[in-house]
Amino acid sequence: MQTVNLTQMDKEGIAEKVIAMGGEGLLNCVQCGACASVCPVARAGFSLYCKNLIKKLQSGYMEEILEDSSTWACQACNRCTEICPRDVKPSEVVFAFRRIQAEELAISTSAFTPLMSLYETGHAVYNKRSKELRKKVGLPETPPTSIGDPKAVAELQKILDDSPMAELGIFLNLMSRKQEK
């Protein structure tokens, strides 16, 4: 491991940014480790999990960890938030960091498909075999959700079109396709 010169770490604005993105408890953390002790992500051996993410953010890391997509393994199970003795709400910090990563498009590749699907169908998860499955168990082919409801999808798209998510250009192709129609 290399020595880190903490005086050379640029902490400028990092905490503020994380707090603004929803990680309000960042600076309350005393690194007791309780969150990590029960964190599925930590227990499964991912590299960046609540406790060490918080420590790194507190120490001024940002560039160095921005591309680490293991934060996207967080299940949001919130057990950390339930037990944190300092009310840090570690899962909120993880999500705040994810939002910062998203701004830089440092997103787990696995996140894109659900996003596209969400925009197009209103469902992050969609299974093309579903009609067949539904018929098999005696249900109408289409459930009463947005999948068969263009008005509902249009409502959702109106919310998404002006969102910071759209500004990242994630939906660009889909949006132009919609306009062509």
Partner 1 sequence: MSKIGVYVCHCGENIAGVVDVEDVRQYAEQLDGVTVTRRNLFMCSDPGQEMIRQDIASGLVDRVVVAACTPRTHEPIFRTTLEKAGLNKYLFEMANIRDQGSWVHAHDKYGATAKAKRIVASAVGKAANLHPLEDKFVDVTPAALVIGGGVAGIFSALELAKMGHKVYLVEKQPSIGGAMAMLDKTFPTNDCSACILTPVMVEAANHPNIELLTCSEVADVNGYIGNFNVRIRKNQTYVDWNKCTGCGACAEACPVRTANEFNGGMDHRGAAYIHFPQAVPKKAVVDMSVCINCAGRKLGTEPRISKKTGQPVLAACEKACPSGAIDRSHHLPAEGTLRDIEVGVIIVATGYQVMEKENFPEYAPDSPNVITALQMERLISATGPTGGKLLRPSDHRKPRTISFVSCVGSRDVRHHTYCSRVCCMYMIKQARLIKEKYPDIRIFMHVIDVRAPGKDFDEYYTRARDMGITFVKGKVGGMEILPADQVRVLGYDVDLGSNIEVDADMVVLASAMEQPPTAKLLARKIGLSFDGAGFFKELHPKLKPVETAVEGVFLAGCCQGPKDIPDTVSQAKGAAAAAAIPLCQGKVRIDPTISEVDTEKCSGCGICTPLCPYNAIVLKTYSGRPRAMIDITQCKGCGVCTAACPSAAILLHGYTDVQILSQIAALTRAA
Partner 2 sequence: MEQFGMYLGCNIPFNAPDIEQSFRQTFPNLGVEVVDLQGATCCPAWGTAPSFDINTWLAISSRNITLAESEQVDIMTGCNSCFGILAEAKHMLDHDPGRKAQVNRLLSKADRKYSGSSEVYHVAHVLHNKIGVEKINASAKYTLRQLKVAVQPGCHLLWPSAVMKVKEKNPFFPTMLKELCHALGAETPHYSRLESCCGMGAMRSTNQERALDTLKDKLKSMKEEIDPDMIVTTCSSCYLQFDNAQKLLRDKGEIDFAIPVFYYTQLLALCQGLDPAQVAAISETPRDEIIVRIQSKQRLLN
Binding mask 32-61 for partner 1 (x = CB under 8 A): xxxxxxxx--xx-------xx---------
**Rounded to whole angstroms, how far apart are CA atoms 107 and 134?**
33
**Rounded to whole angstroms, how far apart are CA atoms 38 and 34?**
7
Torsional class of 124: left (φ above 0), alpha (ψ -120 to 50), beta (otherwise): alpha
Minimal CA–CA distance to 117: which of 77, 76, 145, 75? 145
The nearest distance, CB 114 to partner 2, in angstroms, is 6
Q: Which of 146, 174, 175, 178 lies at the binding interface for partner 2 (CB under 8 A)?
A: 146
Indicate if the alpha-carbon torsion angle 162, 163, 166, 167 is positive or negative. Answer: positive
Does the protein bind partner 2 through residue 46 (CB under 8 A)? yes
**Rounded to whole angstroms, how far apart are CA atoms 1 and 90?**
26
Binding mask 75-114 for partner 1 (x = CB under 8 A): ----xx-xx-xxx---------------------------
Instruction: Choose the contact partner of 180 out of partner 1, partner 2, none; CB within 5 to 8 A by kind.
Output: none
Minimal CA–CA distance to 18: which of 118, 100, 84, 138? 100
**Rounded to whole angstroms, how far apart are CA atoms 103 and 20?**
13
Among 7-15, 24-32, 43-51, 173-181, the segment contacting partner 2 (CB under 8 A): 43-51
Binding mask 89-128 for partner 2 (x = CB under 8 A): ------x--xx--x----xx-xx--xx--x---xxxxxx-
Query: In Å, how far are 27, 130, 169, 172, 180 from 153, measured between CA atoms?
Result: 40, 19, 19, 16, 17
Among 5-13, 74-82, 98-106, 146-154, the segment contacting partner 1 (CB under 8 A): 74-82
Instruction: Choose the contact partner of 120 out of partner 1, partner 2, none; CB within 5 to 8 A by kind.
Output: none
Instruction: Choose the contact partner of 102 out of partner 2, partner 1, none; CB within 5 to 8 A by kind.
Output: partner 2
